[in-house]
Amino acid sequence: MIKYPYYKLMLVTNKGNRPLQDYLNFIALCAKSGITSVQLREKKLTFNELVEFGKELQALLKPLSIPLIVNDSVELALLLDAKGVHLGQSDGNIIEARQRLGSDKIIGLSVDSLEQLNTANTLPIDYIGIGAIFPTNSKENVNTLWGCDGLKQAALSTTLPIVAIGGIDESNMNQVLQAGANGIAAIGVFHNSKTPGNTIKNLKSIFHD
């Protein structure tokens, strides 16, 4: 059982054209090294491909008690019996998502401004996604570059856990936590590492609790 809450070290998938078994082996290594959840986010896969990939991820992660959180799609989350869903501002109605998923599932919501954050505070969600904190090559069309100062403002404006995303790695994660983030979601720091197991252990050691 992972001792950290699910939002501490969230690996966002980036399978691309990588062979399935090779990628699952990578996820397994990361899972055993200390990631606390996996967010299924593959913009170029069809729905059916996402279902097949998601089933494989669930079969791998469930025995390790690591939650699978689906990006964008309540439908897919229900189909996979995922632990939750992460939604953007244009990914549907939060109230409806909560009604469909039930009270025991996780719902995360991305916000692009303090105004959206204030609205998010009134919604039945479990955590807030804030990013990009730093410039990143992993996501196109970044609406807001928050920086650590923006993150500090956000942290003062909510009591919900904040998951920071965007350009976060071993060199700047401590700054991000000090600015008020409760965890990180990332692609690059995991996928670009030549020794992901060591990278994850280093990231875990940065947490102050």
The mean predicted confidence, pLDDT, of the chain is 93
pLDDT, residue 140, reads: 61
pTM of the model: 0.94
**Dihedral sign of CA atoms 121, 122, 125, 131 in order:** negative
By C-alpha distance, which of 99, 89, 93 is closest to 128?
A: 89
Which is nearest to 190 in space by CA: 201, 180, 181? 201
What is the C-alpha R_g of the chain? 16
Please give the pLDDT value at position 141. 63
pLDDT of residue 207: 87
Structural tokens at position 118:
């204030």
> What per-residue confidence (pLDDT) applies to 2?
43
Q: Helix %, strand %, coil % for the chain, to 5?
A: 40, 15, 45
Which ranges of the chain have pLDDT less than 70?
A: 1-4, 138-142, 208-209
Q: What domains, with CATH codes, occur in the chain?
A: 9-206 (3.20.20.70)
Cβ partners under 8 Å of residue 6, min gap 6: 36, 37, 67, 69, 83, 106
Cβ atoms of 165 and 133 within 8 Å: the answer is: yes
Per-residue pLDDT, 76: 97
Q: CB-side exposure of 197: number of CA atoms within 13 Å?
A: 6
Q: pLDDT tens across 62-111, in order?
A: 999 999 999 999 999 999 999 999 999 998 899 999 999 999 999 999 99
